[in-house]
Amino acid sequence: MKCTSRHLYQNISIFLCLVFLTFSCGCADKNIPHKYDTGNISVNNRVDNVALSFASDLAVTNDNIAGKNNTTIEEESAAALFDVNRANVLYSKDIHERLYPASLTKVLTALVAIKYGNPEDVITCSDNVTKLESGASTCGLKPGDQLTLNQALHALLIHSSNDAAVAIAEHVGGSIEGFSTLMNSEATLLGATNSHFVNPHGLSDNDHYTTVYDLYLITNEAIKYPLFNEIVAMTEYSTVFNDKSGAEKEMSFGTTNLFLHGDYSAPSGVTVIGGKTGTTNAAGNCLIIIAKDASGNPYIGVILRCSQRTLVNEEMIDILREITS
């Protein structure tokens, strides 16, 4: 059962979203046509008119910025590095182009769940946790399984479990559609108006897209929540939950973040403190990294549509070098 206060918060959020959309002149979705080809969102969906005065504490730019190291990435990729506290863009390439985010979607899923849910809530999984496309990453949830929202969030962010995403969405939003409404409402309130989300996991859909810049806005908000920061920094997780008969089930997994896993190292003077990975055939290899410099100042790096898993990590290292340049 979901508490009355959660429904109140959801309704308030949706109402505010509608007000924002009604009075804002900066929402590009009304003016930019959506055109798709070969499984990817075409470059005709690039958004060049972005309101640069949305908030004084946010990094903003409409330009490609080479950075002090003249960092380069794949032609088809979009990427950026943001200095969180100084509200500065250190590197950027095609950051307002609409692209598929794959499992980077789950940063917004977690943000909405933490904001509107209670970590100690008990989720009862529906049949939909098993209705995912072949090959989708899961943590093995079955209909009738019961686990806390906190446990599901760990599976969502550490293991990138799509079944956990479904369970979270149905619990917090009442349905996938209801939760997607909350996602879009939250994104709009953050100024991420060049995005549209139709599911909580990021499995490909033509109507599910975002930009590098919007993912910065979403991640920048997510890192304000201690639970989010705690989870995305973890290298492994083990827990016990219950099946539909009440019997205990174990769940254990490691991070998909290869920087935290130890396969890749940040440049000298930079420490990776968290992040999120994402990969689908349509989206390519995607990565968000949260890092800090030697003084503890935080940064957010984002890469979308990279062709190879190894390359997306190598390119992130190059981007992170801008921190100490």
The two three-digit tokens of residue 306, written as one number? 């990279």
What 3-state DSSP class applies to 12? helix
H helical segments located in the chain: 4-23, 105-116, 149-158, 162-173, 176-189, 212-222, 226-232, 258-261, 309-320
The number of C-alpha atoms within 13 Å of 233 and in the hemisphere containing its C-beta is 13
Residues 319, 74: Cα–Cα separation, whole Å: 12
Residue tagged active-site, from 93, 106, 276, 292: 106
With beta carbons less than 8 A apart as the criterion, state whether 148 and 119 touch: yes
Distance of CA 87 to CAs 23, 84, 213, 323, Å?
26, 5, 13, 13
Residue tagged active-site, from 13, 137, 160, 180: 160
| 160 labelled catalytic | yes
The two three-digit tokens of residue 132, written as one number? 């995912």
Residue tagged active-site, from 77, 92, 103, 161: 103
With beta carbons less than 8 A apart as the criterion, state whether 49 and 32 touch: no
| 13 labelled catalytic | no
- Give the residue from 159, 163, 165 showing the smallest Cα distance to 254: 159
With beta carbons less than 8 A apart as the criterion, state whether 106 and 210 touch: no
DSSP string across 77-138: -EEEEEETTTTEEEEEESTTB-B--GGGHHHHHHHHHHHHS-TTPEEE--GGGG---TT---
| 249 labelled catalytic | no
* 254 strand-pairing partners: 236
Sign of CA dihedral 129, 131, 134, 136: negative
Name the one residue in this structure whose structure tokens are 């920061």.
229
The catalytic residue positions are 103, 106, 160
